[in-house]
Structure 1
Amino acid sequence: MCLSTTHNSISDDLQIGVYDILRINIGSKSATMLRNIGLLFILAIATADNCPKHCICSQNSATCNSTNLASFGERIFKLKITNPKVPLIIKNGHFNVSGLQDVNSISIEYATIIDIDDTAFSGIRKLSSFSMINSNIPLINPLTFSNTKNLRILQISNSTLKKFDSFKSKSLEELDLSGNRLTTIFKTSFEFLPTLTFINLENNNISTIDPLAFSNLINLQDVLLSNNNIKYLDPNIFEKNTELISINLSNNPLKQINLNLTAELEKLTLKSCQLRSFDEVLSKNLGLLSYLDLSGNNLELTSNTFAKMEELEFIDLSRNNLTSLPSRIFYSNYKLQKINLDNNRFKDFPKFESNHNFQTYYFSCSNCSIVRLDEDSFKYFPSLVILNLSRNKIIGANLTAIQSLYRLVELNLSYNNISVIHPSSFIKSSALQTVNLAGNPLKVINPNVFYSNRFLKFLDVSNCSLKKLWQQPVKKNLDFLSELNVENNLLTSISPRDLQVVPVINILGISQNLLHCDEVLRDAITWLTKHQVLPRSAQTKTHENIVNANATETMLNQSSWRVLIKERCLDEFYFENSENELKVIAENDQNHIEIEPNVDDNEEDSYWYNDDEYSKMDEDYVKAKSLFESIRFKSENHTKYSFLWPTLVFIFTALSVLVIAANVLLLILKTRALPRNVNLPHIKIPRWNSNNRLKKHSGSVYQPLSEERTDIFVPNRKVEVPTHSTPKSSV
């Protein structure tokens, strides 16, 4: 809360007074309670007048619902006005109150602003940031911020502002006008904002921009114009912006673009602009461009389109309906690190040539209708780390193209036409850690394919046509594989021998298979439980989830193997183990619970999956689950108040120790450290069987001063002390 220096001093004085009153018997429980109540009362008094009634103050910031502000008890650096009950008319003096002289940030949210006086912020010398968000602002006086000499950031976003023109500020650097109702940018819109470096005009309805709108902004670096209705831009609109670094024109119906851009530009985003071509003259002026997004257009590209962009590192050509690309389209762009060609219509994978090896570590061509991969398709991409070729029509014979990628870590070949994988497909990719083969017509996995991949951790072969897990013989186990997904296949059995191929597995996805409930499956589940393998589910898909899971969740996941399998193969094996676990829990709770098996012993090997048996297994599972719940509820009720007794014992023991220590300390001081004729107070503990009561007093028994004693202490002589003496001087 906001505390002033004056109130701090008053609080200290009152606190000292409370301590003086309660210090005599400060160890007692009642005095401690009184002291705490007194301190709370003092704190309430000290802070009651430090924050205006319409505000909440905390850590040098205040949130108010009105501009009728009173004095603040402490300096406020950040002021927010949100959800005012009445429309605002901000005039000079609203913010000239005690405590706001050093405010550097003011924001107004969810308000209706009728008018802002041109001198409203003139008294706030340190104001550097002002924002109006989600508010009704039909018009703003251009001179409103002309006197704020330190204003750096102005944000008016998601409001009803329809016009922004001739604003004046000699210090403004960042201007955010996104999400308003602007339709036109005039020549004078930014004419008197010479220090602007950043302009955000996204999500308006701008259709017209004056050719000289940015001509005076010699320091402009970033312009965001996406999601407007701009159909045409003058070629020279950014000609004088020599410091321009980034332009975003995405989601505008431009159709063509021909800009005279500065060579300093580093980022150009033209996503979903209905472009049909990318002018070669434009690319000549982009020698330092490193980021280019042309996705979502309908481009036709030539070999020289990007020829002059030697510093290009990222390019996105996805969703352009491309059927082919020239082999030399990236010939000079050997510094490319990320290439995205998703959702085009290639039939043959484009073979790229270069005068150097590409530095590309990420390459994606998903859903590109690729049928064939040549052996040298990635000849110039030796540095590839992530390769995504999912949702194409690639067959297993094409995988030899991957052999040269010895740095490859992540490979996605899901949903292709791969039915057989040649044993030498990944032989040189020794760094491979993740392989996704989901959705391919594989009938069996040959583990020998991954013989050289000693760091393979994740393998996904879900949604395939697997009828058995591993092709035999297995030459070498997959010693590093931690997660295997074989969900939604045609597996009828999984054995401990299959699981021994992945000895360190942590997560196994096996649901939605036609597993037989036989002895082999029981042994497999025993193996999985013994090795603490978790089923792959929404809660346990990653290794991080396993590490963060507590012991109870781990136990439940391990005991619910059959539940996560779609068929829910809950045979007598499951219920026998469940019964033993339940009995142990019941014995610990001193309540014996018996379970009647619901499965006939004579039918343990006759489970095939039909609706009747599904219903029977569901009923059995519900019964077992309800039994677990009843035991857990009883255990929770039994331990709900169990913490009270140890707490009381601890409190009583602590008080006893304190009393004994106090008496010992007083005895030592009396016998050794002080003269014999000084009487010290001591704590008297009445006997349990005594009827005598201690006389109540303030704890400060008067003793005569040494100067008042006229007699000399003599052993065996009774010294009489006046019972009602008045001290001559105050102690």
Structure 2
Amino acid sequence: MTSASTILLFAQVVLLFHDLPQATAVSPSSPSVSIHPTDLGCPPALDIDPCVCTVDGATADINMDCSDLIDNDQLKKVFEADFLFPDLNKLVIQGTTGRVGIRKLEADTFGKVSFKHITISYTELNTVEASAFANSFPTIQTMEVTDNLFEFFPFEILAECEKLETLYVQNNMLKHVSVLHSNSLTHFDASGNSDLKYEDEIFQTAPMLATINLSNIGLGHIAPLTFAYQQRLSSLELQNNNIDYLYENALKFMSSSVISLNLDNNRIGTVESNAITGMQSGSTLQLKGNMLTDLPQNVWENVFISLKGDNTIEMDDNLIDCACNIKWLVSNNDYLTTLSEGKECDDKTSIHDPALINFINQHC
């Protein structure tokens, strides 16, 4: 560097420091000045009203509660405030006595702010643009967008949200779920969307899912191998639907985990051989409130063997013809132990009824 350049650089540094506020010496006797964490992490309260910003003293996480919002204009204005630290931990917009009046989430709704956890529940929200959460793609871990009014959700964003573990979209008005592309997603809940449709391959590219809830969505059909690609599946909830027939491989599992499978309150009357396979010892199967009329040995014996345990299969409130056709079951104490006691027979008798068991064993 030439001497002229050095002199010029030194002059610029001098000018820079000349413009800075002068430091004031603090003597040991001077009162200390403390800055509360919220003074650093949150914008001025008036700038984000009616939202409330707090900083966790233990973790330094910055959280926003905007449950008292009136409309979208107010929401947008809040996030136009100057966030010195825009990497927020949590956003909550949750109606209590009535729906929060926000209706649309757009590209500029949240300004430059990002979140790790989002809860938007019981609002008038009817439109969610894919770009609304763009700033949060690298950070988002939990997204709970429930009990709103939207029919469409941009599921394609999952491929860009590499830390997203939990996605709850239950009790909205969703009509369709596209194929989920995620190597991080572990919990998915779309229950309560009463007329929901989805692709047969919906979960093929979401191998880490541990819990899936598709209850109360009007489901009438399970395609073969729908849930065969989850390596750690532990809970599958399909209750309160319209399923009437289980085809071969419809519920084929390859998970190494113990699985809780709930099929209560459907219309299941026919189950093909090998429709339910791959459930590990200790797993549970709930089939209460269906329309089963028979338990063919070639269909059910392997299920009872794989689920051997205490009350691991429930079939209460079905229409089973309890006669010689179930001798294979009532003559095996292990199978009777596996079946939870209920009113499985068409005359509301229990398969565990000693009189029924004695009669079948004597006459069949």
- After superposition, residues 120-519 of structure 1 pair within 5 angstroms as 218-221=34-37, 241-243=38-40, 257=50, 266-272=62-68, 274=70, 276=72, 277-278=74-75, 279-282=78-81, 284-296=83-95, 297-299=100-102, 300-310=104-114, 312-334=115-137, 335-353=139-157, 356-375=160-179, 378-379=180-181, 381-393=182-194, 397-455=198-256, 457-468=259-270, 470-472=271-273, 474=274, 477-480=277-280, 482-502=283-303, 503-505=305-307, 506=309, 507-519=312-324
Q: Which residue of 2 aligns with 1:612?
A: none
Deviation at 1:488, TM superposition (A): 0.4
Larger Rg: 1
Distance in 2 between residues matched to 1:566 and 1:271, nearest whole Å? 51
The SS at the match of 1:402 is: coil
Deviation at 1:492, TM superposition (A): 1.3
Distance in 1 between residues matched to 2:228 and 2:159, nearest whole Å? 27
Q: Which residue of 2 aligns with 1:646?
A: none
- After superposition, residues 710-729 of structure 1 pair within 5 angstroms as none
Per-residue displacement from partner, 1:523-542 (whole Å, max 9, x unpaired)? 3234464463151xxxxxxx
- Compared CA separation, residues 402 and 321, structure 1 to 2 (3 A): farther
Q: Tell me which stretches of 4 or more aligned residues in structure 1 moved more than 6 Å.
A: 245-248, 258-262
Deviation at 1:398, TM superposition (A): 2.4
Amino acid of the residue matched to residue 569 of structure 1?
A: T
Distance in 2 between residues matched to 1:314 and 1:260, nearest whole Å? 14
TM-score by length of 2: 0.72
The SS at the match of 1:400 is: coil
Per-residue displacement from partner, 1:82-121 (whole Å, max 9, x unpaired)? xxxxxxxxxxxxxxxxxxxxxxxxxxxxxxxxxxxxxxxx
Whether contact under 8 Å (1:246, 1:267) holds in the other structure is no
Distance in 2 between residues matched to 1:355 and 1:331, nearest whole Å? 12
Distance in 2 between residues matched to 1:570 and 1:260, nearest whole Å? 58
Distance in 2 between residues matched to 1:245 and 1:267, nearest whole Å? 9
Distance in 2 between residues matched to 1:273 and 1:531, nearest whole Å? 57
Distance in 2 between residues matched to 1:246 and 1:515, nearest whole Å? 65
- After superposition, residues 683-702 of structure 1 pair within 5 angstroms as none
Deviation at 1:366, TM superposition (A): 0.4
The SS at the match of 1:524 is: helix
Distance in 2 between residues matched to 1:410 and 1:520, nearest whole Å? 35
Deviation at 1:476, TM superposition (A): 7.9
Whether contact under 8 Å (1:562, 1:570) holds in the other structure is yes
Deviates more, 1:568-577 or 1:283-292: 568-577
- Compared CA separation, residues 528 and 567, structure 1 to 2 (3 A): farther
Per-residue displacement from partner, 1:288-308 (whole Å, max 9, x unpaired)? 311111122222432122342
- Aligned Cα RMSD in Å? 3.9
Distance in 2 between residues matched to 1:364 and 1:521, nearest whole Å? 41
Whether contact under 8 Å (1:330, 1:352) holds in the other structure is no
Distance in 1 between residues matched to 2:44 and 2:185, nearest whole Å? 29
For structure 1, the residue ranges without an aligned partner over 5 or more in a row are 1-193, 196-215, 222-240, 249-254, 536-560, 579-598, 606-731
- Compared CA separation, residues 576 and 402, structure 1 to 2 (3 A): closer
The SS at the match of 2:329 is: helix
Q: Which residue of 2 aligns with 1:574?
A: 354
Per-residue displacement from partner, 1:424-480 (whole Å, max 9, x unpaired)? 423432332221111221112235134352336221111111112x223x2883341
Distance in 1 between residues matched to 2:263 and 2:109, nearest whole Å? 40
Per-residue displacement from partner, 1:641-661 (whole Å, max 9, x unpaired)? xxxxxxxxxxxxxxxxxxxxx
Distance in 2 between residues matched to 1:259 and 1:504, nearest whole Å? 53
Q: Which residue of 2 aligns with 1:668?
A: none
The SS at the match of 1:341 is: strand
Per-residue displacement from partner, 1:572-610 (whole Å, max 9, x unpaired)? 9623768xxxxxxxxxxxxxxxxxxxx9x99x99xxxxx
Whether contact under 8 Å (2:170, 2:192) holds in the other structure is yes
TM-score by length of 1: 0.38
Amino acid of the residue matched to residue 504 of structure 1?
A: S
Whether contact under 8 Å (2:207, 2:231) holds in the other structure is yes
Distance in 2 between residues matched to 1:572 and 1:411, nearest whole Å? 32
Number of positions where the alignment pairs a residue of Structure 1 with one of Structure 2: 313
Structure showing the higher strand proportion among its residues? 2
Amino acid of the residue matched to residue 290 of structure 1?
A: N
For structure 2, the residue ranges without an aligned partner over 5 or more in a row are 1-30
Q: Name which structure has the greater RCO, CA cutoff 8 Å, separation 6+.
A: 2
